[in-house]
Amino acid sequence: MTKILIVDDNGASRLLIANQLVEGGYQVLESGDGLEALQMVARERPDLVMTEVLMPRVDGFTLCRQLKTDPVTASIPVILLARNHPTREDEAFALTVGAEHYLVKPVANDILLALVGRLTLRSKVLPLAVQNESDYLRGYLARLRQQIRDRTTEIERAEQQSEQTHSEVAQARAEWLKGEREELNRQLRRAKSRLDELQSQSLMSPMRLRFNADVMSDIRGLLTMIVRSSDLLLRGAHGALPEPQAERLLVIRESSRRVLDILNAIEVPAAAPRQLEE
């Protein structure tokens, strides 16, 4: 029997889709969290994954990308779910992370079953349009910022309605939306931190290579000079040294030789030719 995993932190929404799929003859697995869903996919190997976009810890975009970048799970079709109509940018970004489709909840029964039936019969799925993690994070951050703006607009409307009508329902909706916005902000901070880390690594890597190639050569030269100068002094080139000074100089020479041996054993990329300044 075809096995479908539904990932949604909203239990009522998850139950509604599960009932539709069970009536359509599918075996249904459920998860309320993206992180748990990754573990379930590894264990159960579903034929299709349907995931809500906005979830705590691991959201739908991230879940989809992780599935599609793993060769073991890359062939599993993924449908992204959202309660708001996606923008053209949202739909385009969904394709870059490898999603097969983007649906707005609630989904009509005939549309859901037709789409699931088509995807579970396919032998090939869409590849990721963006393989580079930095490029993915830039698109991901743009989507998160748009969702935060959307939630802020909804909060303002709900608070305005609450003030005008003294509606407890409107006030409760505003508080719920604030919770969603805070979760989006947490995801935004995590993604921004990761992007900053990748950019820092990208900037530092060439610098490290230049440092290793250029400075290691200078250090070797300095240590070689210390060893040779110590040898000359210990041999009495400038007269006999008092015993205490000779012992200290011997320690300096042998220590320098050990460090030089270590440096000579390290393979360092050749330094690029330095261009003369005009």
Per-residue DSSP letters for 201-250? HHHHHHHHHHHHHHHHHHHHHHHHHHHHHHHHHHTTBTBPPPHHHHHHHH
Among 176, 201, 226, give the residue marking a domain's end: 201
CA 135 to chain centroid, in Å, comes to 10
Quickly state the pLDDT bin for 169 (edges 50, 70, 90): confident
Which tokens hold the place of 212? 């290793």
Residue 156 is part of which domain span? 136-201
Q: Which residues contact 105 (CB under 8 A, 6 or more apart)?
A: 13, 17, 52, 81, 82, 83
The pLDDT value recorded for residue 123 is 52
Backbone angles phi, psi at 78, to 5 degrees: -130, 130
| Domain annotation covers residue 276 | no
Percent of the chain residues past pLDDT 90, beyond the cut: 33
Which tokens hold the place of 224? 């070689």
Range of lowest pLDDT (150-154, 238-242, 263-267):
263-267
Q: Per the structure, how many domains does the chain have?
A: 3
Q: 222 and 180: one domain?
A: no
Q: 191 and 151: one domain?
A: yes
* pLDDT digits 0-9 by tens, 55-109: 888 899 999 999 999 889 998 999 999 888 888 888 888 888 889 999 999 889 9
pLDDT tops 90 at residue 215? no
Give the CATH number, domain containing residue 117. Answer: 3.40.50.2300
Among 129, 157, 180, give the residue marking a domain's end: 129
For tokens 């088509």, what's the residue?
118
| Domain annotation covers residue 277 | no
Q: 78 and 32: one domain?
A: yes
The pLDDT value recorded for residue 278 is 39
Q: 103 and 54: one domain?
A: yes
| Domain annotation covers residue 213 | yes
Which tokens hold the place of 148? 């935060």
Q: 20 and 66: one domain?
A: yes
pLDDT, mean of residues 200-215: 62
Among 103, 129, 155, give the residue marking a domain's end: 129
Residues in the chain: 278
pTM for this prediction = 0.62
| Domain annotation covers residue 54 | yes
| Domain annotation covers residue 51 | yes
* pLDDT digits 0-9 by tens, 181-207: 998 898 899 889 988 888 877 765 555
The better pLDDT of the pair 127, 225 is held by 225
Mean pLDDT of the chain: 84
For tokens 């100089």, what's the residue?
249
| Domain annotation covers residue 278 | no
What is the rounded CA–CA span in Å between residue 42 and residue 29?
13
Range of lowest pLDDT (137-141, 159-163, 256-260):
256-260
Q: 190 and 221: one domain?
A: no
| Domain annotation covers residue 79 | yes
The pLDDT value recorded for residue 274 is 45
| Domain annotation covers residue 271 | no
Single out the residue of 140, 34, 49, 47 nearest to residue 96, CA to CA: 140
Q: 110 and 158: one domain?
A: no
